[in-house]
Amino acid sequence: MLILWGIFAGLELWLELAYHFSGFGWSGFNPLYAMLLIAAWAGVEALLAGLLRGKIKKVIFYIELWLPVIWTGAQLVYLRIFKQPLLWKGMILGAEDALSDYWREALTSIIGSLPYLLLFVLPAIALPVILKKRGWTLPQFGSLEVLRTLVIIFAGTAGSVVMLEVGRLAELEYYEEYNEFYDPLTVAESMGVLPTLHGDTAAHLRLLWQDLFRQDQKEPEYVPALSQGVVPEDDVSGGDPPAGQIAESTVPEETAEPSDADVPEEPVVRPQQFDLDYDLLHQLADNEHQRWLADYIQSQEPVTTNEYTGMFEGYNLIFLTAEGFCTYAIDEELTPTLYRMAHSGFVCENYYVPLWQTSTSDGEYTNMTGLIPDGQHSMRKSASNVQPYALPAFFAGEGVYSYAFHDNSLSYYDRHKSHTNMGYDFRACKLGKLKESEWGDKVFAMEEPDQWPASDYNMMVATVPEYVNLEQFHVYYMTVSGHMLYNFQGNAMSVKNRDAVEELELSEGPKAYIACNIELDKAMEYLLAQLEEAGQLDNTVICLSADHYPYGLSDKEYEELAGKDLSQGKDKFRNTLILYNAAMEEPIYIDKACGSVDLLPTLLNLFGFEYDSRMYAGRDILSDREGMVIFNNRDFVTDSVIFTEKGDVATWLQDEEGNDIIPDDRKEEYLEAARQEVKDRYNFSAYILRENYYSDVMQAAADSPQE
């Protein structure tokens, strides 16, 4: 009995150690919790194999032997591609997308991981051979063996429960990471792959339980008064107008004439908030999360207007999420248009783009909603929620149509659902898994749509004529030319622009990365030229932000591209925000800490929309609030500190005189408040999404129609 249990336990402990070394190197690792889970899980495997008889006994033994090997190998391959563990939601929702669009990355990762994968496989091959030579056969458990195995299972399970309970009572870091604030990457690195699986399974089951048995079974009551948007008279698309749910109270009633890009001299300061019926908001709360949200919103002090409020009122907005974009894609000679735009308009010198669990989709979600993603695939889940506080809602209130374009598949990440629900007329260059009879009118014709990655320039050529001559427009783009893999074999955009980077003294990865972003630069050059030709350039704002840093480059390649060490603080996530208007004579420099979650409230303020600043996890970058950037593992950066949750490491920032901005006697209080703020913004974002809570807010808005 002990030999059988030892085979399974030894194999899984080996896999834990090999996974940690191959995925995280020599970083700190506490395997105690993993060992307790291994003891229990190996006992279950031993009990199953020991009780069975005949041929099925041997079959089950080999399945139990190889399944952990395959699972751990898949985790390593996924980690090396996406820099995140593979979770249930990713497998359920993203498996088809991954197989269709990421097979190249998977193949490259498998080849690159072969030495480590051999380490995983070695004991599964060697153990049966060694045991057979020694004459060992699978045992048949009797009552005593069953009892002993049950004792081991109970001991491992009880030990893991006790360890978590001790962590909860003592408020230890590992408990928060594992249970209260589940961060899969941190759990995988600090506790192991088996704890990640158990934690993810528990979190997934909790969400399923909430979805199936939540207390609030009422249908959301909202008025889609403007949900069909406004179709321009000269619209040439022939498609249906966008759908989404918009509260009339969220937008001004009249359309203002375009104003000059001049800062008002004497702004009237007022709170950016709606008048809410808080009693009604609390009455509508049917569960703990909704009650928390009602209390939280009521307790929040809204952001106020500022000197930049309404600076671009009546202007056009073109908003881009640029695939894998970073500061080091910008070069004065190789990408001159991006360079000019990045050094004009609003220049944010401490801008960050965190990496979330679903990389591109979560990056889009953050940019477009001003909320922090809740686990994986938040954008997909938002497709079933009302979206009254996204950009198309505000523009629709002024009679402005909202387009969205993507130079990849219409169905990828279910954008045809989420973006349409948000209020965009969403188009793509390929159908993906959708039927042409139902979705064919949502595919725009462009040159070479099947290239991988496709050309952002070709997308602009195909789509800009649709809207550039309209009186006013809002357009969203999700680009793809900057997509990994960064090489000159499989990346069509890198190959296309290879000659331009041939003389750079860089290795292939960084060269190929710059080459594929030259295509984005060509796209922006074409866009600006068409806007100018149509007389729309000075009256258009262009906002471009990344979805994530180019994690398709290794850390070594990324530092080679940057030309400096990026291991300090959150330097890897520093990025460039382009917030550009050609009519601005001088750039406006912003040195506060800010990030992608702040984009939506910033744009709403600049465009002069009436909005409620408490409806977002981000804050208007141009407001007087201290900046805060929150990362996937609860690390954060403010204007005063760079804080790493693991190890409670605080790097205090200094003023011009070289003194810490926060004095020593206030640091503890400051950190405690900041950490609570991080938790609150995470919970706020999660509950807004899970509870479809904007529907309650709309009902509680005093001037929102209720019929």
Banded pLDDT at 33 (limits 50, 70, 90) = confident
Q: Please give the mean pLDDT across all residues of the chain.
A: 87
Q: What is the pLDDT of residue 417?
A: 95
Banded pLDDT at 208 (limits 50, 70, 90) = low
Q: Are 677 and 204 in contact (CB under 8 A)?
A: no
Q: Are 520 and 336 in contact (CB under 8 A)?
A: no
| pLDDT tens digits, 148-167 | 999 999 999 999 889 888 88
Once rounded to an integer, what is the mean pLDDT over residues 570-577? 96
Domain ranges for the chain: 2-213, 248-586+599-700
Pairing of strands 474-478, 402-409: parallel
Q: What is the largest CA-CA distance in the chain?
A: 90
Give the whole-number percent of the chain exceeding pLDDT 90. Answer: 66
Which tokens belong to 37? 């889970």
**Residue 152 and residue 508: Cα distance in Å, rounded?**
52
Q: Is residue 266's pLDDT more than 70?
A: no
**Residue 613 and residue 294: Cα distance in Å, rounded?**
15
The pTM of the full predicted model, rounded to 2 decimals, is 0.83
Q: Is residue 566's pLDDT more than 90?
A: yes
Neighbours of 112 (CB within 10 A): 14
Once rounded to an integer, what is the mean pLDDT over residues 599-616? 97
**Residue 654 φ/ψ, nearest 5 degrees:** -120, 155
Q: Are 63 and 42 in contact (CB under 8 A)?
A: no
Amino acid type, 578:
I
Of the candidates 62, 84, 356, the one whose C-alpha atom is nearest the C-alpha of residue 193 is 84
| pLDDT tens digits, 40-86 | 999 999 999 888 888 898 899 999 999 999 999 999 988 888 788 88
**Residue 121 and residue 123: Cα distance in Å, rounded?**
6
CATH number for 248-586+599-700: choose from 3.20.20.60, 3.30.450.40, 3.40.720.10, 3.40.630.30. Answer: 3.40.720.10
Which tokens belong to 194? 């088996």
| pLDDT tens digits, 610-636 | 999 999 999 999 999 999 999 998 999
Q: Helices 32-51 and 2-24 meet at what angle, rounded to 10?
A: 140
